[in-house]
Structure 1
Amino acid sequence: MSGPSSDGFIQMGGTIRHKRKCRDITFLVIFIAFSIGMVVNSSFGFNQGNPLRLTHGLDYKGNVCGDKFAYSGLGELELRYWQNPNQVYQSGLKDSQFKLANARSICLLDCPIPSDDSLVWVCDYPEGDISLSMTDWINRKYDYFEFLTPEMRNSSLQLQGPCYPVIFPSVNVYWSCQFIARASNMSLKHWQQMGGVNIYEDIVIDKSIHKSINSRSAVLKRYMADIGKAWPVLVVCGGILPLFLSVVWLVMIRHFVAAMPWITVVLFNVLIISVTMFYYLKAGWMGNDVISPIIGEHDPYIDVSGRELTHLRVATVVMTFIMSVAILSSIAIVRRILRATSVLKASIIYDTIMLNFD
């Protein structure tokens, strides 16, 4: 054994070893600060975070729709509705600096639709001179136009609130009311007779909201929200159930050694075929159970596309390829399965003999 050299290294049996010590104090300090920051950030997220922000929109006051801890009465009002159609139109123009996020919106229980008999109004939350409770406001379908003063009515006819006309039908698309760019002729006629300002009728109104709902960031938020909601399923199907089935498989292979390789292969192929067929159903390529971004009952003639459906169809193609490879591989290894069955039989017989011998 050699002694330590001048630089602190110790040579033992031809192997050079050195005295270990922390050599990067700066990085250690940075790492500790990073760890503390992660703990603080996680604590802040758990205490102050709101998962509804991933899927539900904000009203003009900055409240999250459906948040029971926000503005009084918003707990059951989950849908975001843009009140001013001209602001929605303006946000969809190519050269416009106005963003849809800045358009006036409120939270509603359901998406309003025009009436064939009269002009429907959606008014702001009741406050100030409007002596209505939130419950009464909801029961009145958000309409208190008849209680407005002449000045407030004139302001509403200028699309400056507090009440706004329902000219376009809308449907619930991922908890936001998607406008359908088909203005109600009767509602528009009533609006014009009352002296209301010009309301733009254009497909831009439809596209502006659809672009916001269907953006990459919005889709990613919905995927993250789905994972948050599905964690019990992931725990059961990804952890507990496989563990239980593995024990069952070991028990069955102990008693049904000749049949288990075939049972395993058949069940695997049946499962992968079933999953692939389920993808085909939800992708709309088989049956009438296609996944839709529209939530709840709606006019069957209304069709709204979404990125999720495109992603699902891509996944369906991938699953079709995987299914084909699995089936062909199962056919190709039939001879090997026969050999494996013989080996398993011999192994079980040998283990049984040894146990009896002991």
Structure 2
Amino acid sequence: MAILDEPLLPHDRSFSGHKRERGCRDVLFLLLFIFFWAGMGVCAFFGFKKGQPEILAYGLDYEGSVCHKNQNLRDLTDYSIRFWVNPKQVSETHKVSSLKDSKSLCLAHCPQPVAENKTISWVCNYPDSKNGNPKDRDMKSWNQGYNRGTPYDYFQDLSKEAQHNSMSLKGPCYPVLFKSKNQFWSCQFYDDIDEDSHKIWTDMGGVPFGSDAESLSRLAVTVEKAIDSLLGGPIDILNRYINDIKNGWEVCAPHSRHLLYALASCHWVCAYPWTDSFGTS
């Protein structure tokens, strides 16, 4: 049997065979990997700095602003509650997505129906010079009801054409026909439609919502369920993630342990004999 000599190393000067310098063949992929994570870091930076995650939970008003925020269009710092103003749009809700598209405003509190002296309460668009809105009204006067005791209401100051559009639920003012309460920073409708306000509304020539009391009751139930489903969506998703973590940890733990075992096999294989020796002894 021939005895093999100790192999010559490439750096040995006496080595006369074919030798090749080992190059950095993974530099290109390393650079691509670094650029990838740098791009991810830039996206994360702009996402945290300029992102508005509350849009996913609270949505936008009809101007595209988030409630309780001071943005370019107007200062809504004191108006943190979202209210769906058009009762017809809300009543025709059959899917949660359609409620998201319904017109909404940011208010300081949820308005309540008031039927006195053959008048009803209204919620009007933010004060500006469009669609017949009063030109000399600011947000503070709008919130205080222009000294009439009915906040967000300037229906009497509108032109005849704008009042007619409001009676047809085309804005800028909309009747308050349902009771509502603040729930998760949105006005949740509850109870049946206010009969006194609805009667005055129809006597004034407003667009009807139903032909009988039963249909009005169904309308109130539909509105309540639609808004409740919309508000519960993000919470349900979070609960599903939490339940998945609770139910899946028994599967994730063995996989994590096997991954650690594979890494240890690659890098610390020389320690296994000693580990077995100590383990058996």
Same fold flag (TM > 0.5): yes
SS of alignment partner, residue 58 of structure 2: coil
Cα distance between partner residues in 2 of 1:148 and 1:125: 13
Q: Equivalent of 1:57, from 43, 56, 59?
A: 59
Tell me which amino acid in the other structure corresponds to 2:33. Answer: F
Q: Counterparts of 1:1-358 in structure 2 under 5 Å?
A: 2-4=7-9, 22-92=24-94, 99-117=98-116, 118-128=119-129, 129-130=133-134, 131-140=136-145, 141-200=151-210, 201=216, 202=219, 203-215=221-233, 218-219=234-235
Q: CA deviation at 1:54?
A: 4.8
Q: CA RMSD in A?
A: 2.9
Q: Quote the offset at 1:199 in angstroms.
A: 2.0
SS of the equivalent of 1:106 reads strand
Distance across 1 between alignment mates of 2:191 and 2:33: 54
1:15-39 deviations in whole A, cap 9, x for unaligned? xxxx986443453233122211122
**1:33 is aligned with what amino acid?**
F
- Native 8 Å contact 1:126 1:133 kept in 2: yes
CA distance change for structure 1 residues 209 and 24 in 2, over 3 Å: closer, same or farther?
A: same
Which structure has more relative contact order (CA 8 Å, sep 6+)? It is: 2
Query: Per-residue deviation at 1:172?
Result: 1.1
Cα deviation, 1:208-229, whole Å, max 9, x if unaligned, reads: 11111111xx2278x6xxxxxx
Once the two structures are TM-superposed, the CA of residue 52 in structure 1 deviates from its matched residue by: 3.7
- Secondary structure of the 1:28 match is helix
Give the paired residue count.
211
Cα deviation, residue 176, structure 1: 1.0
State the secondary structure of the residue aligned to 1:107.
strand
Structure showing greater Rg:
2
- Residue 60 of structure 1 deviates from its aligned partner by 0.7
Q: TM-score, normalised by structure 1?
A: 0.53
CA distance in 1 between partners of 2:54 and 2:180 (Å):
22
* Contact 1:56–1:66 (8 Å) recurs in 2: no
The list of structure 1 runs, each at least 4 consecutive aligned residues, that deviate by more than 3 angstroms after superposition, is: 19-27
The answer to whether the Cα contact below 8 Å between 2:59 and 2:100 also exists between their aligned partners in 1 is no
After superposition, the Cα gap between the structure-2 partners of 1:85 and 1:26, relative to the gap in structure 1 and judged at 3 Å, is farther
With normalisation by structure 2, the TM-score equals: 0.67
Q: Residue 88 of structure 1: CA displacement?
A: 1.2
The one-letter amino acid paired with 2:140 is T
Amino acid at match of 2:124: C
Quote the sequence identity (%): 37
Instruction: Tell me the distance in 2 between the aligned counterparts of 1:52 and 1:166.
Output: 27
Give secondary structure in 2 for the equivalent of 1:27: helix
Distance 1:160 1:28, change over 3 A: same
**2: distance between equivalents of 1:63 and 1:206?**
24
**Unaligned ranges ≥5, structure 1:** 9-18, 224-306, 316-358
Could you say what secondary structure the match of 1:187 adopts? helix
